[in-house]
Amino acid sequence: MADRRALITGVTGQDGSFLARLLLKKGYRVYGLVRRLSSPNISNIATILDQIELLDGDLMDQSSLNEAVKRADPSEIYNLAAQSFVGASFSQPALTGEITGLGALRLLEATRTHASSARLYQAASSEMFGHVDREPQDESTPFHPRSPYGVAKVYAYWACVNYREAYSMFVSNGILFNHESEVRGIEFVTRKISDGVARIATGRAQQIVLGNIDARRDWGYAPDYVDLMWRILQYSTPDDFVGATGESHSVREFAQEAFRVVGIEDWESHVKLDPRFNRPAEVYNLRGNPAKAERELGWKPRTRFKELVRIMVEADMARLESTKGAT
Ligand code: NAP
Ligand code: G4F
């Protein structure tokens, strides 16, 4: 087997840490791009630090990306780094555009110049569909982004298509719907709920404060989705694929199910609504059609909604149990 070398941007994040483990299992040599922070944020990759090589770099900085690509000399590049929180993109729109949009372009340039035969995966998003005019959404659904984050992802998506067409590079977009896990960032609604429910169940808190609980999302489990990323880069040609479960549920249903896992029935008395968490423009309903990924790549999400909620709530309960006495 040829030397398989992968460079992952965003390796410290949810998806990056699952993908690094998957690629290590497959025998890849794994390089992870990390940006300089005053307090290193490596908890998600702590157990594999001795098996991967970290390279300094930032999607805001072209020369660091050039150096990282040269050093890793990768056969595959996974661009997972982003300012990925939609809520924050409204308060930091230009930063989000720089990292999430132009950052992808900088990585494409580094790849074109220093590793033009590498295959590149771009973490595109169902947020690009935004204000949808049809359901379910698939690869042919028009984009109508509703946030600076969504706008930046649309830019990155088209930059990838352009590099594919202009330079014949192997660049593919995975248009993934929401995927969550026990290491999901605490500001995202699913983890905010699973953590909040665990705190309430263990007597540490009384309430969870949420925004629009009627919003609906197509939620899957992150380990299933990093497998899809890998499959997309093994395909015969560069192409774009939707990754989704095909089911949508409301935030309200997620909360109700999470409270059910810990045996709390009067869940509504523990949920307070606060317009502070509403967005200037909301994406009300997303549901994807993963038929192309299933047909062409043999991919199917394995973890369904109730199982996902249970995994997340039980992980937060276990974490709180192991830190008894702490808040
Ligand atoms: P995440 O947990 O927020 O991870 C984001 C990663 O990007 C972190 O490793 C972060 O590093 C890194 N990063 C941020 N700014 C950077 C910069 N300027 N230079 C270099 N690295 C930077 O996100 P995720 O949920 O794993 O998602 C992975 C990717 O998929 C993202 O691009 C996201 O937009 C996209 N996506 C996610 C979903 C989903 O539901 N999870 C769905 C569709 C698309 P630090 O640790 O230093 O902050
Ligand atoms: O969990 P969220 O913040 O995720 P969102 O906005 O769907 O974005 C995630 O999925 C995208 C894929 O479609 C990714 F591209 C993106 O990087 C990210 O991973 O919010 C989900 C829904 C929204 O409609 C939001 O308005 O939940 C609603 N919500 C209601 N109360 C809340 C809250 N969201 C958050 N974060 N916090 C709340 O209190």
Question: So where are the chain's domains?
Answer: 5-179+221-243, 185-217+248-281+303-322
pLDDT digit string, tens, across residues 222-275 = 999 999 999 999 999 999 999 999 999 999 999 999 999 999 999 999 999 999
Q: Do residues 35 and 11 lie in contact, with contact meaning Cβ atoms separated by under 8 Å?
A: no
What is the token pair recorded at 83?
């300012």
Contacts of 198 (CB under 8 A, 6+ apart): 262, 313, 316, 317, 319, 320
**84 touches ligand 1 (CB under 6 Å):** yes
Query: From CA 325, how far away is CA 116, in angstroms rounded?
Result: 53
User: Residue whose CA is closest, atom 45 of ligand 1?
Assistant: 12
- Pairing outcome for strands 249-250 and 216-217: antiparallel
**122 touches ligand 1 (CB under 6 Å):** no
Ligand nearest to the CA of 147: 2
Query: From CA 24, how far away is CA 62, in angstroms rounded?
Result: 27
Q: What is the pLDDT of residue 2?
A: 60
Q: What is the pLDDT of residue 3?
A: 87
* Strands, E assignment, the chain: 5-9, 29-34, 52-56, 76-79, 119-125, 170-176, 179-180, 208-210, 216-217, 220-221, 240-243, 249-250, 271-273
Cis amide bond preceding 301, omega within 30:
no
Give the residue-averaged pLDDT of 264-287: 98
Tell how far the Cα of 190 is from the centroid of ligand 2, in angstroms: 8
Indicate the average pLDDT of the chain.
97
Tell how far the Cα of 186 is from the centroid of ligand 2, in angstroms: 11
pLDDT digit string, tens, across residues 294-315 = 999 999 999 999 999 999 999 9
Give the mutation target among 15, 80, 86, 212 for probing the ligand 2 site: most ligand atoms within 8 A of CB.
86
**81 touches ligand 1 (CB under 6 Å):** yes
Q: What is the pLDDT of residue 323?
A: 83
What CA–CA distances, in Å, run from 243 to 7, 179, 246? 22, 9, 9
**9 touches ligand 1 (CB under 6 Å):** yes
The CATH fold assigned to 5-179+221-243 is Rossmann fold (3.40.50)
Q: What is the pLDDT of residue 326?
A: 57
Give the residue-averaged pLDDT of 155-177: 99
Query: From CA 306, how far away is CA 320, in angstroms rounded?
Result: 21
Tell how far the Cα of 199 is from the centroid of ligand 2, in angstroms: 21
What is the token pair recorded at 145?
């982004």
Helix (H) or strand (E) holding 176: strand 170-176
Q: Do residues 76 and 121 lie in contact, with contact meaning Cβ atoms separated by under 8 Å?
A: yes
Ligand nearest to the CA of 242: 1
Residues with CB under 6 A from ligand 2: 84, 86-87, 125-127, 177-178, 187-190, 192, 210-213, 215, 217, 251, 277, 279, 282-283, 286
Is the pLDDT at 20 greater than 60, yes or no?
yes
User: Residue whose CA is closest, atom 19 of ligand 1?
Assistant: 58
The CATH fold assigned to 185-217+248-281+303-322 is UDP-galactose 4-epimerase; domain 1 (3.90.25)
pTM of the model: 0.98
Q: Which residues pair with 77 in a beta bridge?
A: 7, 120
Q: Do residues 79 and 122 lie in contact, with contact meaning Cβ atoms separated by under 8 Å?
A: yes
Other Cβ atoms closer than 10 A to 256: 19
